[in-house]
Structure formats: C-alpha cells, structure tokens
Amino acid sequence: MKSKYRYFTILFLVFLFTLNIIPIVLGKTRKTYLKDFLYDTEVEGEGFKNGVGAGEPINEATAYALEILDYYDLNAHEATDLTTKLETELESMFDSDDIVLYDLYYLLKSLFFIDEDYSTNVNFLNLKNRIHLFINGTEQISGGFSFSNSSTLASMSSTYFVVQIFNLIDEPIPNETIHKDWIILCNNSDGGYGGNSSLSSNLLTTYYAVSLLETLNFSVDYLANKSQTLIYLNSFYIQNPSDPNNFGGCLPDLTANYALISSTYHCIYAISLIDENVLNKDQTVKWILTRQYFQDGGFADITEGTSQLMSSVVSSYYAFKTLEIFGSLGKLKAEVFMVEFNYWTLFIIFASIGVVAVIGVIIWRRRRI
C-alpha cells in the first residue's frame, strides 16, 4: 500500500512539474518579443515601417530598427536589396538637389548598420565628396549649421544632425570652438537651451545642446550654468509614486499629461552627461519595461484619448537606448515576458497530461498483477 501511494505521489509531482515547466520553455523573453516586433514592421528590401499597421517604410524607423538588430548581430532580410534602395534614394536627393538633412542622416546611418565596412564601399566613396560639400555649405560664420546650404539660419537641431553626419563620414568638424560658443549663446535663464539664441528653452533642444558639447569634445562644464541646466532637466522627471503611468518617466514639456519614452531618453541622457548620480535608475528602468506592449512586443506610449496602445519602432528604439544608458539591456534577456499561448501550447499540455495518466495506469495494473 505504501509503495502504491509512493508511485502516485511521484506521478503527481511529475505532473505538477510538467505544468510549471511548459510555460517557461514556451515563453518568450522581452528581447525575443522586441526582435519579432521589428521584423513584423519590415518590408523586405525596402526598410522598416514605424509600426505593424503603419503605411510605408520611413528612414528614421529603418535606421533605428537596424541599430537594435545590429546589437543582437542580426540584419535586415534582403540586406543587399535594401542597400541598393537606400543608395538610390541618396543619389536621387543629390541629383535633384533636394536634400533633406534628416533623411540624409538616417539613410547614411542605415547603410552603416547594414554593412559595418560601408566606409570602403565604392558607392559611398563616390557620394562622400557630395555629402561633405553639402554639409560644409550649411556652416554659418557666426556658429552653428543650417538645415540646407541655401539657408543662413542656424538651428540647434540642424547643428546636431550635421555634426552627426560629419562623424558618420569620418570627416573633421570645422571651427569647433565657434560652434561651441554659438551653442552656449542659445542658453536661457531657466537653464535650458532654445533652438537658437532668440527662442525659449525646450527639452529636445536642451538635449541637443548638452550632447553636442560632448560630441564636439568639450566638457559639459562649458554649459552656461551647469547646475541650472540640471535643475531644468530634472523638472521634466516625474518623481510622484502616486502617478503610476508616469513615475520614473519624463514629460516632453511641462504642460503634458503623460511621459513619453522619447522624452525620457532625451532627458535621462542629458542628465547622465552632467551628473549621473542624480538619476533614479531602478524606477526609470521599471517604468520603461512597463511600456513594452504584450500584443505586439514593441514599446508603446500612453497617449491621451486612446485606449488601444500602438507600439512603434521609434518608441522601441528610445526604450532600448534608455536601458542602455543604465546598463540594463540584460533585463530584456533575463525576464520572461509572457507565454505566447496557442494551439501547440494546448496540445503539448494535454499530451503531457495524457502521458502521465498512461504511465500511472500501467504502473497501477502491474501492481495489481
């Protein structure tokens, strides 16, 4: 009798173990969900859309998706076709003399992530002089860079993108000190920076200003008022635990109701360059992880007036980069997100139960014999 109960106890424990181990085996990590989401937005040979249900591929989403995939040693499907498509778009911009600075940056960024040796690519070398000539033409004598070589109006955003392009094509940035001085002149009394010296501060242009000083090899100590800039940036951070939708995130502006993933990245990155010790790492990482949307695996913002969250490649990129600031990308690998329940899952569970039941019956019959 004791032996009989022992066998049934063992079988019961095996049964419980099977039920508990199946979700772990079949569950997908946050990282896997994110990669699947990116590939779901891909239009092979053409680029990446900003979301699963979005229209056409856009250059920004393509560059961001490729950067995340590159981190995991992955690439686009039909990468050769995609390279040809992006190069054709680049050449078309220059041939038609209709160059959009932001598109130029994202096209180049994408090409360098598709091919890490793209700097030696013949097509790039043929275009490099034209690119260099264009961005040199956007430089303003009093400092900063304009959106095009036909404009004389420097802005913080165009300066940021031109400097990034200089780095991508591995060319020295001219007159760095003059541009540094121009950036400082865009400071306002609140500690933030405007799009130029006559505009009020906002989070994005302040992020540009702080990161530009770093990129131009100047210390953030050159900020007009470093402590005031830190206060300004911290004003966007939500420190109220009773506000669960925002706690740990950063508002895009002080009148906004919801923190955005993009504004959180811009704010956190700028703060990290000034004084990383003031950051609340645990809470921000926790908030970022809550923004991963289980329906498609991407990261989604809460927006006013919408009950259905929509993940985007852009938001997913900024979530990824925010975790990277904190050295927390391992969270995407270590934490099982949820079980993807489907008919195969159901079949395996019932098959396991059936196997355990059959073994139990066989043992019981043998004991009777």
| Domain shared by 215 and 358, yes or no | no
| Domain shared by 108 and 244, yes or no | yes
Query: In this model, does residue 53 exceed pLDDT 60?
Result: yes
Coil/strand/helix, residue 337: strand
Number of domains in the chain: 2
pLDDT, residue 55, reads 87
CA distance linking residue 143 with residue 180, whole number of Å: 8
* pLDDT tens readout for residues 261-304: 999 999 999 999 999 999 999 999 999 999 999 889 999 998 76
| Domain shared by 46 and 120, yes or no | yes
The arithmetic mean of pLDDT across residues 187-208, rounded, is 97
The arithmetic mean of pLDDT across residues 38-55, rounded, is 94
pLDDT, residue 333, reads 84
CA distance linking residue 127 with residue 140, whole number of Å: 23
pLDDT, residue 54, reads 84
| Domain shared by 257 and 306, yes or no | yes
* pLDDT tens readout for residues 240-258: 999 989 999 999 999 999 9
Q: Helices 261-275 and 226-234: crossing angle, nearest 10°?
A: 150
E strands within the chain?
28-29, 42-43, 47-48, 145-146, 154-155, 336-338
| Domain shared by 216 and 329, yes or no | yes
| Domain shared by 204 and 160, yes or no | yes
Which range of residues forms the domain containing residue 128?
Answer: 29-342
* pLDDT tens readout for residues 198-229: 999 999 999 999 999 999 989 999 999 999 99
CA distance linking residue 164 with residue 152, whole number of Å: 20
pLDDT, residue 23, reads 46
| Domain shared by 142 and 203, yes or no | yes
pLDDT, residue 154, reads 97
Q: Taking all residues of the chain, what is their mean pLDDT, rounded to a whole number?
A: 88
**What pTM did the predictor assign?**
0.85
Query: In this model, does residue 166 exceed pLDDT 50?
Result: yes
CA distance linking residue 207 with residue 99, whole number of Å: 25
The arithmetic mean of pLDDT across residues 228-241, rounded, is 96
| Domain shared by 7 and 113, yes or no | no
* pLDDT tens readout for residues 112-124: 999 999 999 999 9
Band (pLDDT 50/70/90 cuts) for residue 28 is confident
CA distance linking residue 256 with residue 107, whole number of Å: 32
The span from the first CA to the last CA of the chain, in angstroms, equals: 14
| Domain shared by 95 and 5, yes or no | no
Give the CATH number for residue 172: 1.50.10.20
The arithmetic mean of pLDDT across residues 63-83, rounded, is 97
Query: In this model, does residue 19 exceed pLDDT 70?
Result: no
Band (pLDDT 50/70/90 cuts) for residue 143 is very high
DSSP tag of 308: S
CA distance linking residue 297 with residue 331, whole number of Å: 14
| Domain shared by 23 and 33, yes or no | no
Q: What percent of the chain has pLDDT over 70?
A: 82
Helix (H) or strand (E) segment spanning residue 246: none
Q: What percent of the chain has pLDDT over 90?
A: 77
| Domain shared by 307 and 179, yes or no | yes
| Domain shared by 23 and 132, yes or no | no
* Torsion over CA: 307, 308, 313, 316 (sign): positive
CA distance linking residue 109 with residue 281, whole number of Å: 29
